[in-house]
């Protein structure tokens, strides 16, 4: 997206040279899932909030700096809660990074399994001698088709799915490290 268009949608701090994602809150609790009552640094963040912030991160792009500004009523401002909230958000994004890396590891393991299956299917198809019987001919063709399907799935996982997960990790790292500001409204 062009710089001018981004500056229309997001606040831009010329001093920090960062795009600001402004979010209005009624209380500090609004940042977190309404179903999670664990200690503040371990709470799950609100799904809609995460979806919004992540969408903003994708829209702004990784090459530009981003800051999240939470606007909260002046009468409930509490610097200790703000710091715990920042720590909790960083923990949440660090968890998302670890979880995504785990998905990547499982994909690598699965793609290796698919590769081995594809090689075995190809070897079996090649080893079947030319026989005029329709059963062996059908089996051989089925093995070739199975091998290519399994190998295609391996390539899909390796080149497409892994790229998507790497991009997610980059955005989660950005969100983990972004500046979070609380302002009174």
pLDDT in the model for residue 120: 95
H or E stretch including 19? strand 18-24
86 in the same domain as 146: no
Widest CA span of the chain, in angstroms?
Answer: 87
88 in the same domain as 29: yes
53 in the same domain as 137: no
125 in the same domain as 63: no
- Which DSSP category does 44 fall into? P
107 in the same domain as 49: no
Token code pair at residue 95: 């968890």
| Phi, then psi, of 66 in degrees rounded to 5 | -140, 140
Sign for the CA dihedral angle at 94, 100, 104, 107 comes to positive
Token code pair at residue 115: 């590769």
110 in the same domain as 86: no
**H helix intervals, 128-184:** 134-155, 162-177
Contact present, 113 and 92 (Cβ < 8 Å):
no
pLDDT in the model for residue 155: 92
73 in the same domain as 22: yes
- Domain with 130 in it: 102-167
114 in the same domain as 156: yes
Q: Is 72 helix (H, G, I), strand (E, B) or coil?
A: strand
Q: Per the structure, how many domains does the chain have?
A: 2
10 in the same domain as 88: yes
117 in the same domain as 78: no
Helix and strand counts by DSSP (H, E) for the chain: 5, 4
In this prediction the pTM is 0.79
pLDDT in the model for residue 7: 82
pLDDT in the model for residue 42: 60
Give tens-digit pLDDT for 30-78: 888 777 666 555 667 888 999 999 999 999 999 999 999 999 999 999 9
Distance CA 148, CA 68 (A): 47
Average pLDDT over every residue of 102-121: 95
112 in the same domain as 92: no
Pick the closest to residue 68 from 176, 144, 149 (CA basis): 176
76 in the same domain as 24: yes
Average pLDDT over every residue of 142-148: 93
Using 50, 70 and 90 to split pLDDT, how confident is the model at 135? confident
């Amino acid at each position: 997206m062009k710089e001018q268009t981004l500056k229309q949608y997001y606040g831009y701090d010329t001093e920090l040279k960062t795009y600001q994602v402004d979010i209005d809150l009624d209380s500090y609790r609004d940042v977190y899932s309404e179903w999670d009552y664990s200690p503040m640094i371990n709470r799950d963040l609100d799904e809609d909030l995460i979806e919004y912030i992540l969408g903003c991160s994708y829209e702004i792009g990784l090459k530009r700096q981003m800051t999240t500004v939470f606007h909260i009523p002046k009468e409930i401002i509490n610097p200790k809660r703000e710091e715990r909230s920042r720590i909790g958000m960083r923990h949440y994004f660090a968890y998302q990074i670890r979880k995504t890396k785990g998905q990547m590891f499982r994909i690598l393991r699965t793609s290796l399994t698919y590769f081995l299956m594809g090689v075995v299917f190809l070897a079996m198809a090649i080893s079947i001698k030319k026989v005029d019987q329709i059963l062996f001919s059908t089996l051989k063709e089925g093995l070739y088709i199975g091998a290519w399907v399994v190998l295609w799935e391996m390539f899909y996982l390796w080149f497409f799915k892994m790229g998507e997960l790497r991009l997610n990790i980059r955005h989660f790292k950005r969100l983990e490290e972004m500046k979070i500001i609380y302002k009174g409204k």
